[in-house]
């Protein structure tokens, strides 16, 4: 962490000053800061250090500042998500670093930001290709990173079920198939995506077996029951 301070002292100073200012700010000042480009400024400071061997200090301060913004003034979460590029910035940062601990920390902040959003707001996150990006930047060998990415993905996928009637397909499935996200493992983890959709023959048997033996969730079973040709 000390190495970061030596390699980019100005960036560290800027982040510390921003953090101190936020600690003294009220909600209206937060809103004004965000609309004036605070999120972009934070990203630019961190981005300058992407090539550093030790980016931990900058990432720690970056995460602490974002947490302050969303925890001290929870009413402005929707502004942070939809009137700034924070979501995009976090995904770019995670995709640009190799620090597992930092990835996990940023993903947990990401999860805390989106959990209180309503289903329509979460559906907008799908249009930002959040699920697709998470599928590529998280690996099973990074256990905590991978699990947090799955929780974020689940929040967005579950929002897509809102308002669906029997026989209606999940609105994300065809795009995820087109983007080659529906791997065998992903399909089993998010089996509900196949609601009212023919199960691919190559994974159909595994899906129905897994949902019976591993998940045993009546809602998931009901969703699979809508698939053509599936019998329990």
DSSP 83: S
Instruction: Give per-residue pLDDT as tens, 38-90.
Output: 999 999 988 887 766 567 778 888 989 988 888 766 677 778 888 889 999 99
Full DSSP string of 137-204: H--TTSHHHHHHHHHHHHHHHHHHTTTPPTTPPPTTHHHHHHTT---HHHHHHTGGGGTTSPPPHHHH
Q: Which of 226, 229, 217, 228 is nearest to 190 (CA)?
A: 217
Note the pLDDT of residue 52: 62
Task: Write the pLDDT tens digit of every residue in 135-174.
Answer: 887 677 788 889 999 999 999 999 999 999 999 999 999 9
- Name the residue with higher pLDDT: 102 or 175: 175
How large is the C-alpha radius of gyration of the chain?
20
Mean pLDDT of 88-93: 90
Sign of CA dihedral 146, 148, 153, 158: positive
Q: What is the pLDDT of residue 74?
A: 65
Q: Which residue has 């995904």 as its token pair? A: 91
Residue 190: is its pLDDT beyond 80? yes
> pLDDT tens digits for 4-24?
444 457 888 899 999 999 888
End-to-end CA distance of the chain: 56
Task: Please state the φ and ψ torsions of residue 167, each to the nearest 5 degrees.
Answer: 90, -10
The span from the CA of 51 to the CA of 7, in Å, is 10
Contact of 160 with 166, CB cutoff 8 Å: no
Reading the block at residue 152, the tokens are: 């974020």
Residue 84 DSSP code: S
**Architecture field, domain 2-163:** Alpha Horseshoe (1.25)
Q: What is the mean pLDDT of the chain?
A: 83
Residue 101 confidence (pLDDT): 83
Pick from 15, 3, 99: nearest CA to 58: 15
Compute how many other C-beta atoms are within 10 angstroms of the C-beta atom of residue 211. 21
d(CA 59, CA 69): 15
pLDDT of 3 above 50: no
* In the predicted structure, residue 201 carries a pLDDT above the cut 90: no
Amino acid 156: pLDDT: 97
The torsion angles phi and psi of 64, rounded to 5 degrees, stand at: -65, -40
* Location of each CATH 1.25.40 domain in the chain: 2-163
pLDDT score at 124: 92
Q: Give pLDDT, residue 206.
A: 64
**Quick one: what percent of the chain has pLDDT higher than 90?**
34
> What is the tens place of the pLDDT at every residue in 137-148?
767 778 888 999
């Amino acid at each position: 962490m000390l190495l970061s301070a030596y390699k980019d002292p100005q960036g560290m100073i800027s982040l510390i000053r921003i953090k101190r200012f936020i600690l003294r700010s009220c909600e209206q000042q937060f809103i004004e800061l965000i609309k004036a480009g605070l999120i972009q400024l934070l990203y630019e400071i961190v981005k300058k250090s992407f090539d550093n061997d030790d980016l931990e200090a900058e990432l720690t301060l970056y995460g602490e500042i974002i947490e302050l913004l969303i925890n001290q003034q929870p009413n402005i979460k929707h502004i942070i998500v939809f009137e700034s590029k924070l979501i995009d910035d976090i995904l770019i940062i995670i995709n640009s670093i190799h620090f597992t601990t930092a990835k996990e920390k940023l993903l947990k902040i990401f999860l805390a930001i989106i959990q209180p959003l309503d289903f329509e707001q979460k559906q907008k996150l799908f249009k930002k290709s959040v699920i697709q990006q998470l599928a590529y930047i998280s690996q099973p060998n990074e256990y905590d990173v991978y699990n947090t990415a799955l929780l974020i993905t689940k929040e967005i996928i579950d929002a897509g079920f809102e308002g669906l009637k029997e026989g209606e397909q999940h609105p994300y499935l065809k795009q995820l198939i087109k983007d080659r996200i529906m791997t065998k493992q992903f399909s089993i983890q998010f089996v509900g995506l196949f609601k009212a959709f023919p199960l691919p023959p190559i994974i159909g048997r595994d899906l129905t077996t897994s949902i019976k033996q591993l998940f045993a969730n009546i809602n998931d079973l009901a969703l699979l029951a809508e698939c053509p040709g599936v019998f329990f």
